[in-house]
């Protein structure tokens, strides 16, 4: 890429060196295929321990879209639907993957990308007979598509509402690592596991070569999930590829360290940017930050750095919102270079 550095996303590089080393170390060991290898088993055990749910079921798939639609369609009868924020990844950026499994997504206006209990109740109040779909799952992302995070209280409120209304709570954790290690986080992985019926833990955006863990905590939902995976093209012959990586991520603290580093880089960017007098569009609490900048400054920055221009700024003429994403691989120097460049703009 022609950039000094790309802040487009958190998957521009390969894998954390320890992950590659682990793949190398295990390479010639013969193992059963399709996720029944000893590495996947050990990785699952480590994750269950970390979330304090020894009875959960854990499966690994290759990407987030797959993790989402396979899990959601597993939870639903044909006429059942999902409630999601209008900015939800499944609604906007998965090319209709959920609908392709036959299910409607009912969108509600997100508050900084978050679903509120009030919004869920409103959907329930209007979906009262068989001429409409039957809402069954609440889908949320932690951290959200706008880089924000649900507080423990918010999570618990949604979880309780779902229990009362016989809905499932699904948490898309493509960037769960960043949420868990946020300076603003007041929840832990065990909290997530307790609140969700089914959630994912992303590897791809947190230092793995590829891979997402699907965690099923609800005991009635664990049976037959491997059929679903196989049918949807998600079982890899060399499922070991996932097992080895997640074992490395959760063997000690790599999963958390990677995310913590990405967050620290984002914080440094956010502090530097606001110190220069610019505003953020949303609270900077994870590895994605959204900054309101003059279009002229953006144009200059784009010559050296890669990033998405997210939208026009609603209240500032000739300003736009840009998104900056950091990762385990973002170095302090490039952050400093970015701030330097912005200063000159």
Do β-strands 319-325 and 288-294 pair in parallel, antiparallel, or remain unpaired?
antiparallel
Rule CB under 8 A: is residue 271 a binding residue for its own copies? no
Kindly tell me which of 132 and 157 has the beta carbon lying closer to its own copies.
132
DSSP 287: S
Kindly tell me which of 18 and 116 has the beta carbon lying closer to its own copies.
18
CA 133 → CA 95, 105, 108, 130, 171, distances in Å?
21, 10, 15, 7, 21
Q: Which of 53, 71, 73, 182 binds its own copies (CB under 8 A)?
A: 73
Kindly tell me which of 195 and 216 has the beta carbon lying closer to its own copies.
216
Smallest Cα–Cα separation from 170: which of 148, 202, 195, 190?
Answer: 195
Rule CB under 8 A: is residue 97 a binding residue for its own copies? yes
Angle between helices 17-25 and 240-251 (to 10 degrees): 130
Rule CB under 8 A: is residue 190 a binding residue for its own copies? no
Q: Which of 40, 53, 62, 143 binds its own copies (CB under 8 A)?
A: 62
Q: Which of 42, 45, 92, 122 binds its own copies (CB under 8 A)?
A: 92
Beta bridge mates, 138: 83, 169
Near its own copies in 107-136, by CB under 8 A: 130-134
**CA 128 from centroid of its chain's CA atoms:** 32
Q: Which of 44, 58, 70, 198 binds its own copies (CB under 8 A)?
A: 70
- Whole-angstrom Cα distance, residue 174 to residue 90? 12
CB of 188 to its own copies, least distance (A): 26
Phi and psi at 45, nearest 5°, equal -60, -45
Concatenated DSSP letters for 20-87?
A: HHHHHHTTT----STT-SHHHHHHHHHHHHHTT-TT-EEEEES-HHHHHHHHHHHH--TTEEEEEETT
CB of 298 to its own copies, least distance (A): 19
Q: Which of 49, 52, 93, 303 binds its own copies (CB under 8 A)?
A: 93
Helices within 189-239 (DSSP H only): 189-195, 225-231
CB of 309 to its own copies, least distance (A): 13
Near its own copies in 154-173, by CB under 8 A: none
Q: Which of 3, 256, 278, 282 binds its own copies (CB under 8 A)?
A: 3
- Whole-angstrom Cα distance, residue 64 to residue 208? 13
Near its own copies in 18-47, by CB under 8 A: 20, 23-24, 26-34
Kindly tell me which of 8 and 278 has the beta carbon lying closer to its own copies.
8
Other C-beta atoms closer than 10 Å to the C-beta of 234 total: 22
How many residues contact its own copies, by CB under 8 A? 77
Contact pattern for its own copies over residues 202 through 241, marking x by CB under 8 A:
--xx---xx-------------x-xxxxxxxxxxxxx-xx
Kindly tell me which of 124 and 210 has the beta carbon lying closer to its own copies.
210
Rule CB under 8 A: is residue 66 a binding residue for its own copies? yes
- Whole-angstrom Cα distance, residue 233 to residue 62? 10
CB of 326 to its own copies, least distance (A): 13
CB of 234 to its own copies, least distance (A): 7
Rule CB under 8 A: is residue 309 a binding residue for its own copies? no
Of the candidate spans 8-16, 213-221, 254-262, 284-292, the one that interacts with its own copies by CB under 8 A turns out to be 8-16
Question: Is the Cβ–Cβ distance between 257 and 329 less than 8 Å?
Answer: no
- Whole-angstrom Cα distance, residue 261 to residue 272? 17
């Amino acid at each position: 890429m022609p950039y000094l550095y790309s802040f487009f996303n958190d998957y521009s590089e390969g894998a954390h060196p320890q992950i590659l080393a682990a793949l190398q170390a295990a390479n010639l060991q013969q193992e059963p295929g399709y996720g029944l290898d000893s590495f996947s088993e050990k990785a699952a055990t480590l994750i269950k321990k970390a979330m304090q749910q020894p009875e959960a079921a854990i499966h690994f798939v290759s990407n987030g879209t797959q993790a989402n639609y396979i899990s959601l369609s597993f939870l639903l009868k044909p006429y059942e639907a999902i409630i999601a924020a209008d900015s939800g990844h499944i609604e906007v950026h998965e090319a209709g993957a959920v609908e392709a499994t036959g299910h409607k997504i009912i969108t509600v206006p997100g508050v900084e990308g978050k679903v509120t209990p009030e919004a869920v109740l409103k959907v329930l109040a209007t979906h009262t007979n068989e001429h409409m779909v039957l809402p069954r799952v609440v889908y949320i992302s932690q951290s959200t598509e706008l880089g924000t995070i649900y507080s423990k209280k918010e999570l618990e409120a949604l979880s309780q509402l779902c229990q009362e209304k016989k809905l499932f709570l699904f948490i898309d954790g493509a960037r769960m690592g960043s949420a868990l290690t946020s300076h603003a986080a007041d929840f832990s992985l065990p909290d997530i596991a307790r609140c969700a019926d089914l959630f994912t833990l992303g590897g791809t955006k947190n230092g793995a070569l590829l891979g997402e863990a699907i965690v099923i905590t609800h005991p009635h939902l664990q049976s037959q999930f491997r059929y679903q995976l196989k049918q949807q093209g998600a079982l890899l012959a060399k499922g070991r590829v996932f097992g080895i990586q997640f074992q490395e991520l959760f063997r000690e603290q790599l999963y958390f360290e990677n995310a913590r580093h990405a967050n620290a880089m984002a914080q440094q960017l956010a502090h530097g940017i606001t110190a220069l007098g610019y505003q953020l569009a949303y609270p900077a609490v994870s590895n994605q930050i959204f900054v309101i900048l003059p279009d002229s400054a953006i144009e200059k920055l784009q010559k050296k750095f890669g990033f998405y221009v997210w939208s026009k700024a609603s209240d500032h003429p000739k300003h736009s919102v840009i998104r900056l994403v950091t990762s385990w691989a973002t170095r302090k120097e490039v952050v400093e270079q970015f701030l330097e460049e912005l200063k000159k703009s």
